[in-house]
Structures are given as structure tokens and as C-alpha cells.
Structure 1
Amino acid sequence: MDDTPYQLPVPLTALRAKAAEAGFTLSCEDRTGSLLAVLAAARPGGRILELGTGAGEGAAWLLSGMDGGSRLTTVELDDTVQAIAREELGSDQRVTFVAGDAGAWLDGFEGAPFDLVFADTWPGKFTHLDRALELVAPGGIYLIDDLLPQPGWPQEHAASVVRLLAELDGREDFRCVRLSWASGLLMAVRVT
């Protein structure tokens, strides 16, 4: 079976071209994106949080799966890179872009929990993990990627991944599944 996604969000071509022009190479992998679209589609009227907008490929996948009543908040530290996403996706009224440090945003956020949290940056994954997990609604999904070894990883990063996976697997308030697929994923569902 071929697991190459065949339903690509329309904005991907423009997002990829502009990301390449900007030298941004850390965009969402297509198989991860297709999973994001399916998870967003499973949450009609859902509240979705993306930590790490990058150039907007993950957001494009999420928006492609969301219904009209769903809302996406996406946070990115690098305003220049996020500007690509805002330019291509900003006319969609379902998305709110936040330019700033995701850790500071997590610390200061006081709104309702989210049905889906995609942590695609350090805050919410390697830092501020407990706070990100607090923001997952009961029955909600927490998804992280980039867990398989990647070229350019600092030597100590592999140990950070091992610690993170052990911490998530040990939690009683989430049920986790590891997926040795795409860039390496872990999906967790809040059970309490």
C-alpha cells in the first residue's frame, strides 16, 4: 500500500515555493499533514492549536480538514517565516496567527482547552509540556512529530526524545500511541 497523500491542500504549492525562497526547510511532512487533516476533520466545530506555524504547511493541512465551525490558533516565534503563512492563509477567517514565543504564549493563555494540539516546536513538546497537555480537552488529541533521528540533530537531542517519550508513556491522564511513520509521531488522547 502506498501511503503518499493524494489530497493535498491547494495552498501547499505556493507555501512551498515561498518557504524555499526564504530558506525555510522545516515544513510539515506530507504524511504528517494528511494525518492532521483527518484529525481536524474528526472534530467538527473543533478548537485546534498549532505550536510552530513555520511557513504554514501544517496550518494548510489542518485548515483543509476543518469544517466551517472549527477554529485554528497557530503560534510562531519567527515573524518573517510566519508572514508566508499569513500571506497565503490569512484570508481564511477560521485561523488566528500569533507571532511570539510559544512558551510565553502557553504560560499566558487563559482560554478554553483545545480539541487538538499539534506541538511542532520545542515549547509544548520539550519545554512547557505540562502546560500544553493541560490545554487538551477531555477526549482531545495531542500530536507531536520529528521523533525519529533527523540529519542535523544535536548529539544530545536523541536523549531528549527518549526522556519525552518515557514521560508521555508514563502519564495516566493520556493514552499514547507511537507511530514509526513520517518523521516519527506520538499521538495521545486525554482520558481523564
Structure 2
Amino acid sequence: MDDTPYQLPSTLPTLRAKAAEAGFTLSCEDRTGGLLSALAATRPAGRILELGTGAGEGAAWLLSGMDGGSRLTTVELDAALQSIAREQLGSDPRVTFVAGDGGTWLEDFDGPPFDLVFADTWPGKFTHLDRALELVAPGGTYLIDDLLPQPGWPQDHQASVTRLLAELDAREDFRCVRLAWASGLLMAVRTA
């Protein structure tokens, strides 16, 4: 069985080309994107948070699965990089772009929780983890990727991943499943 998604967001080719022009190589992997789209589709009128817009490929996948009543907030530190996503996806009224530090945004956010949180950057994953998890609604899903060794990882990064996985596995308010698939995923569902 081929696990490559066959329903690709229509904006994906342009986002990929623009990301390549900008020298950005850390965009969402297709299998992870397919999972994001499917998870977004399980949340009618859902509230979705993406930490780490990048050039917008993850956001495109999320939007492709969302219904008309769902809303996506996507946060990115690099405003110039996020401008690629804004240019291609900004006309969609379901998405709100936030340019700024994800950790600061997590600290300052005082709105309602999210049904799906995709942490694709350090804040919400390796930093500010507890705060990101606080923002997951009961029954909501928290997803992280890039947990399998990647080219260019700093020498001590594997130890950070190991600590993160142990911390998530030990939580009693989330049920976790590790997926040694795509770039390495962990999905956690809030039970309390």
C-alpha cells in the first residue's frame, strides 16, 4: 500500500516553489500533511492552532481538511517567511496569521482552548510545552512531528527528543501514541 496522500491542497505546488526560492527546506512532509488534513476534518467548527507556519504547507493541509465553520490560527517568528503563506492562503477567511515569537504568543494568549494543536516549532514542543498542552480542549488533539533523526540536527538534539517523549508519555491527562512514520510523530489526546 502506498501511504502518499493523493488529495493534495491546490496551493501546495506554489507554496513549495516559493519555499524553495526562499531557501526554506523544513516544510511539512506529505504524510504528516495528510494526517493534519484528516484530523482537521474530524473537528467540525473546530478551533485549530499551528505553531510554526513556515512557508505555509502545514496550514494548507489543515485548511484543506477544515469545514467552513472551523478557524485556524498559525504563528510564525519569521515574518518574511510567513509572508509566503499569507500571499497564497491569506484570502481564506478561516485563517489568522500571527507574526511573532511562538513562546511569547503562548504566554500571552487568553482565549478559549483549541480542538487541534500542531506544534511544528520549538515553542509548544521543546519550550512552553505545558502551556501548549493547557490550550488543548478536552478530547482535543496535540500533534508534533520531526521526532526521528533528521539531517542537520544539533548533536544534543536526540537527548531533547528523548526527554520530550518521556515527559509526554508520563502525563496522565493525555493518551499518547508514537508513530515511527513520516518524520516521526507523536499524537496525544486530552482525556481530562
The TM-score range, normalised by the shorter chain, is over 0.9
Deviations 1:144-180 (A, max 9, x none): 0000000000010000000000000000000000000
Deviations 1:92-125 (A, max 9, x none): 0000000000000000000000000000000000
Q: Partner of 2:51 in structure 1? A: 51
Q: For 1:32-111, what aligned pairs fall within 5 Å after superposition? A: 32-111=32-111
Q: Percent identity?
A: 85
Deviations 1:51-92 (A, max 9, x none): 000000000000000000000000000001000000000000
SS class of match (2:63): helix
Structure 1's consecutive aligned runs of 4 or more residues displaced over 6 angstroms after TM superposition are none
Amino acid in structure 2 at the alignment position of 1:139? G
Q: Partner of 2:16 in structure 1? A: 16
TM superposition score normalised by structure 2: 1.00
Distance 2:18 2:125 in 1: 27
Distance 2:124 2:140 in 1: 15
Distance 1:5 1:84 in 2: 23
Q: Please tell me the root mean square deviation across aligned C-alpha atoms, in Å.
A: 0.2
Q: Partner of 2:154 in structure 1? A: 154
Distance 1:118 1:4 in 2: 20
Amino acid in structure 1 at the alignment position of 2:140? G
TM superposition score normalised by structure 1: 1.00
Q: Partner of 1:139 in structure 2? A: 139
Q: Partner of 2:130 in structure 1? A: 130
Deviations 1:117-151 (A, max 9, x none): 00000000000000000000000000000000000
Distance 2:16 2:80 in 1: 15
Distance 1:117 1:10 in 2: 23
Number of aligned positions between the proteins:
192
SS class of match (1:15): helix
Unpaired segments of 5 or more residues in structure 2?
A: none
